[in-house]
């Protein structure tokens, strides 16, 4: 074990509630009864579909050729391989028995209905900023889909990261829960863009360097990383003119989010191509413009990643 991991293990002694049982030894609580849909269910489903798109949920929860929301998408990392879970309304293998409160707690606190702490491969570190209303609308949309009666594969993690109780210390050190608070110095458009980038869009999860414990380096917010999802480089999207997108106009950014076409006429590839196709291209022009406005406001950071 590296010195860093010994340090993390030692910190557990100072964190209340560290002595939870490993994942395989935990007992699940009885699932609550499903809730009765409200009269606003139909409109909530439509709003929830938009939230689903904005959050790129399909990328991690529907494997290629698999059933919608059935999970099983693999994410390879230095800590092992994580698999996106089944988030269909199946009561046994999905989220069909989750209450509204339990659903919000998963996003806001990184906590499962049975009390387990989620790994940050589920980006609750960003989703914590999402409003209750957007989360409730998302839940309404998910509950309106077809149940998938199959379990997603369990995570395949290296020792000691397969000890889920270590997440108590990780969250104590690196997780700050809370809904996005508007910046009073920005207008409504830029605050909306920040909400989308920091929360729903969770852009920093891929476009920000991480420390040795897998937490985002907030001092290098959106400055890119050489070790992104599946160990591929992800570009700097701060407005640095040399290594980021400082030479892009706001119209360039909005057009890219809509089409995947870069200012030089090239077309984006890899994972971002899927995100454009399934997520950002479905945003309203107003939200695309809001993201562009926010990205031009973040502090520029000089960090060259690959060819950018």
Written as six digits, the tokens of 267 are 């077309």
**pLDDT of residue 80 exceeding 80:** no
- Check whether residue 212 and residue 144 sit in a common domain: no
pTM of the model: 0.83
Give the tokens for residue 265. Answer: 């006429």
> Does residue 20 have a pLDDT over 60?
no
Give the pLDDT of residue 170. Answer: 85
Measure the CA–CA gap between 6 and 210, rounded to whole angstroms. Answer: 19
Same domain, 104 and 130: yes
3-class secondary-structure state, position 221: coil
Q: How far apart are CA 195 and CA 179, in angstroms?
A: 9
Same-domain status, 90 and 218: no
Residue 243 lies in a domain: yes
Give pLDDT, residue 300: 96
End-of-domain residue from the set 174, 206, 230: 174
Contact 171, 122 (CB under 8 A): no
Q: Comparing 177 with 213, which gets the higher pLDDT?
A: 177
Rounded to whole angstroms, the Cα distance separating 272 from 263 reads 16
Would you tell me how many other CB atoms lie within 10 Å of the CB of residue 92? Answer: 12
Q: Does one domain contain both 149 and 254?
A: no
For residues 106 and 211, membership in a common domain is answered with: no
| Alpha-helix residue ranges (DSSP H) falling in 187-304 | 188-195, 204-207, 250-259, 270-278, 285-295
Do 100 and 195 lie in a common domain? no
CA distances from 220 to 122, 225, 236, 299 (A): 21, 9, 10, 9
Six-digit token string for 118: 């989620």
Q: Same domain for 203 and 168?
A: no
Same domain? For 149 and 196 the reply is no
Is 74 contained in some domain? Answer: yes
Is the residue at 285 inside a domain? Answer: yes
Contact yes or no for 227/212 (Cβ under 8 A): no
Side-chain half-sphere exposure of 25, counting CA atoms within 13 A: 8
- Look at residue 26 and tell me if it is in a domain: no
What one-character-per-residue DSSP string does 176-213 give? Answer: --------TTS-HHHHHHHHIIIIIT-THHHHB-B-TT
| pLDDT tens-digit series, residues 104-155 | 999 999 999 999 998 888 899 999 999 999 999 999 999 999 999 998 888 8
Instruction: Give 5's pLDDT tier (boundaries 50, 70, 90).
Output: very low
Q: Is the pLDDT of residue 295 over 60?
A: yes
Q: How many CB atoms lie within 10 A of CB 163?
A: 15
Domain that holds residue 284: 188-295
The C-alpha R_g of the chain, in whole angstroms, comes to: 19
Is 199 contained in some domain?
Answer: yes
Which has the higher per-residue pLDDT, 161 or 38? 161
Q: Say what the pLDDT of residue 229 is.
A: 74
Tally the domains of the chain.
2
Identify the pLDDT of residue 22: 33
Could you tell me which residues come within 8 angstroms of residue 222 by beta carbon, excluding any fewer than 6 positions away? 197, 203, 204, 207, 208, 236, 237, 238, 295, 298, 301
Position 308 confidence tier, pLDDT thresholds 50, 70, 90 = low
Residues 157 and 192 in one domain: no
Final residue of a structural domain among 142, 174, 206 = 174
Asked if pLDDT for residue 223 goes beyond 80, the answer is: yes
Same domain, 47 and 76: yes
């Amino acid at each position: 074990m590296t010195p860093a991991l010994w340090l993390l293990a030692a910190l557990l002694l100072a964190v209340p509630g560290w002595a939870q049982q490993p994942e395989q030894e935990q007992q699940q609580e009885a699932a609550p009864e499903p809730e009765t849909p409200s009269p606003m269910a139909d409109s909530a489903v439509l709003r929830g579909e938009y939230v689903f798109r904005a959050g790129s949920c399909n990328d991690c929860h529907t494997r290629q050729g698999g059933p919608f929301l059935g999970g099983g998408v693999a994410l390879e990392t230095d800590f092992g391989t994580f698999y996106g879970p089944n988030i269909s309304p199946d009561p046994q293998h999905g989220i069909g028995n989750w209450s509204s409160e339990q659903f919000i707690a998963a996003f806001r606190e990184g906590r499962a209905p049975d009390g387990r702490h989620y790994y940050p491969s589920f980006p609750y570190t960003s989703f914590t900023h999402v409003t209750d209303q957007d989360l409730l609308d998302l839940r309404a949309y998910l509950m309106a889909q077809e149940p998938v009666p199959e379990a997603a594969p369990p995570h395949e993690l290296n020792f000691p990261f397969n000890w889920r109780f270590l997440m108590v210390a990780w969250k104590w050190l690196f997780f700050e829960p809370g809904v996005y608070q508007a910046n009073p110095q920005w207008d409504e458009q830029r605050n909306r863009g920040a909400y989308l980038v920091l929360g729903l869009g969770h852009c920093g999860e891929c476009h920000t360097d991480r420390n040795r414990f897998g937490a985002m380096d907030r001092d290098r917010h959106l400055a890119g990383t050489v070790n992104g999802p599946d160990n591929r480089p992800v570009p700097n999207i701060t407005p640095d003119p040399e290594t980021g997108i400082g030479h892009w106009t706001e119209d360039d950014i909005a057009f890219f989010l809509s089409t995947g076409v870069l200012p030089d006429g090239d077309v984006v590839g890899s994972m971002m191509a899927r995100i454009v196709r399934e997520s950002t291209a479905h945003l309203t022009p107003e939200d695309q413009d809001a993201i562009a406005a926010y990205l031009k406001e973040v502090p520029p950071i000089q960090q060259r990643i690959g060819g950018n």
